[in-house]
Structure 1
Amino acid sequence: MENNIIIYRDTLLPYSETFIPAQVENYKSYTGFYVGTSRCRGRNYPLPAQRTLVLSEMAKLTLRRKLLFLITGLGYPDWFRRLKQLSPRLIHAHFGPDGVWALPMRQRLKIPLIVTFHGYDITVNQDSSDDLSNMFGPHPLTRVYFWRRRHLFKTAHFCIAVSEFIRTKLIEKGCPPDKILVHYIGIDVDKFAPQPHPSRQPVVLFVGRLVEKKGCQYLIQAMAQVQSVRPDLELVVIGDGGLRSTLEQQAAHALKRYRFLGAQPSDVVRDWLNQAMLLCLPSVTDIYHNCEGLPITLLEAQAMEVPVVSSMHAGIPEAIIHGETGFLAAEKDWQALAENILTLASNEQLRKQFAIAGRQQVESKFNIKLNSPQLEAVYDRILQKPKAFC
Structure 2
Amino acid sequence: MKVLVIGSVYPRFQEDAEVPWLRTSIAHLKKAGVEIQVLAPAYKGLKSHDIDGTHVNRFRYAPASWEILTHEEGAPSKMASKPWLQLLAIPYIINGFFQCIRICRKWRPDVIHAHWPFPHAYIALGAAKLFKIPLVLNFHGAELLLIRKKKWVKPLLKFAIGQAQAIFANSSFTAGKIKALRNVNVEWSPYGTTLEDNKDESGVILSETKDPVTIVPHPVNGKFKILFVGRHIERKGICYLIEAAKHLPRDKFEIRIVGVGDLTEQLKQQAAAVNDGAEIIFTGKLSPEDLANEYKTANVFTLPAIVDHKGDTEGLGVVLIEAMELGLPIVASNVGGIPDVVVDGESGILVPEKDPVALADAFKRLEADPTLIQKLLAGARKRIEECFTWDGIIERQIEVYKRLQQ
Aligning the two structures, in what range does the TM-score lie when normalised by the shorter sequence? 0.7 to 0.9
- CA drift at 1:66: 4.9
Which of the pair has the greater relative contact order for Cα pairs under 8 Å at 6+ separation? 1
- Structure 2 counterpart of 1:35: 39
Equivalent residue letter for 2:323? A
- Structure 2 counterpart of 1:175: 182
> Paired residue for 2:400, among 367, 378, 381?
378
Equivalent residue letter for 1:7? V
Query: 1:317-347 CA distances to partner (integer Å, 9 max, x unpaired)?
Result: 2221212221111111111001101111222
Equivalent residue letter for 1:240? V
Query: 1:21-44 CA distances to partner (integer Å, 9 max, x unpaired)?
Result: 121211103122221112399xxx
- Structure 2 counterpart of 1:96: 117
Unaligned 5+ segments in structure 2 are: 68-84, 204-215
Provide closer, same or farther for how the CA distance between residues 107 and 373 of structure 1 changes in structure 2, counting only shifts above 3 A. same
Cα distance in 2, alignment partners of residues 261 and 96 from structure 1:
36
Of residues 187-196 and 367-376 in structure 1, the stretch that sits farther from structure 2 once superposed is 187-196
> Paired residue for 2:56, among 48, 52, 57?
52
Cα distance in 2, alignment partners of residues 249 and 350 from structure 1:
34
- Structure 1 counterpart of 2:338: 316
TM-score of the superposed pair, with normalisation by structure 1:
0.81
- Structure 2 counterpart of 1:252: 272
Secondary structure at the aligned position of 1:10 is classed as coil
Runs (4+) of structure 1 moved beyond 6 Å? 57-65
- Structure 1 counterpart of 2:227: 205
- Structure 2 counterpart of 1:136: none
Equivalent residue letter for 2:4? I
- Structure 1 counterpart of 2:316: 294
- Structure 2 counterpart of 1:8: 6
- Structure 2 counterpart of 1:133: none
Secondary structure at the aligned position of 2:265 is classed as helix
- CA drift at 1:152: 0.7
> Paired residue for 1:237, among 251, 257, 280?
257
TM-score of the superposed pair, with normalisation by structure 2:
0.78
Provide closer, same or farther for how the CA distance between residues 380 and 151 of structure 1 changes in structure 2, counting only shifts above 3 A. same
Provide closer, same or farther for how the CA distance between residues 316 and 67 of structure 1 changes in structure 2, counting only shifts above 3 A. closer
Query: 1:215-251 CA distances to partner (integer Å, 9 max, x unpaired)?
Result: 111111112321xx14342222222322222112212
Query: 1:102-141 CA distances to partner (integer Å, 9 max, x unpaired)?
Result: 33443455422211111222234x243xxxxxxxxxxxxx
- Preserved CA contact (<8 Å) 1:93 1:114: yes
Secondary structure at the aligned position of 1:260 is classed as strand
Cα distance in 1, alignment partners of residues 62 and 56 from structure 2:
12
Provide closer, same or farther for how the CA distance between residues 110 and 64 of structure 1 changes in structure 2, counting only shifts above 3 A. farther
Cα distance in 2, alignment partners of residues 223 and 274 from structure 1:
22
Of residues 15-24 and 142-151 in structure 1, the stretch that sits farther from structure 2 once superposed is 142-151
Cα distance in 2, alignment partners of residues 338 and 160 from structure 1:
36
- Structure 2 counterpart of 1:358: 380
Structure 1 segment 91-170 matched on structure 2, within 5 A? 91-97=112-118, 98-107=120-129, 110-124=132-146, 126-128=147-149, 145-170=153-178
Query: 1:262-317 CA distances to partner (integer Å, 9 max, x unpaired)?
Result: 44466654432222100010111111111222100111111222100001112222
Secondary structure at the aligned position of 2:353 is classed as coil
Across the aligned residues of Structure 1 and Structure 2, the Cα RMSD in angstroms comes to 3.1
Of residues 185-194 and 22-31 in structure 1, the stretch that sits farther from structure 2 once superposed is 185-194
Cα distance in 2, alignment partners of residues 274 and 191 from structure 1:
17
Cα distance in 2, alignment partners of residues 295 and 343 from structure 1:
23
- Preserved CA contact (<8 Å) 1:36 1:53: yes
- Preserved CA contact (<8 Å) 1:161 1:167: yes
- Structure 1 counterpart of 2:71: none
Of residues 66-75 and 291-300 in structure 1, the stretch that sits farther from structure 2 once superposed is 66-75
- Structure 1 counterpart of 2:209: none
> Paired residue for 2:106, among 70, 82, 85?
85
Secondary structure at the aligned position of 1:166 is classed as helix
- Preserved CA contact (<8 Å) 2:61 2:95: no
Secondary structure at the aligned position of 1:254 is classed as coil
- CA drift at 1:170: 0.9
Of residues 328-337 and 144-153 in structure 1, the stretch that sits farther from structure 2 once superposed is 144-153
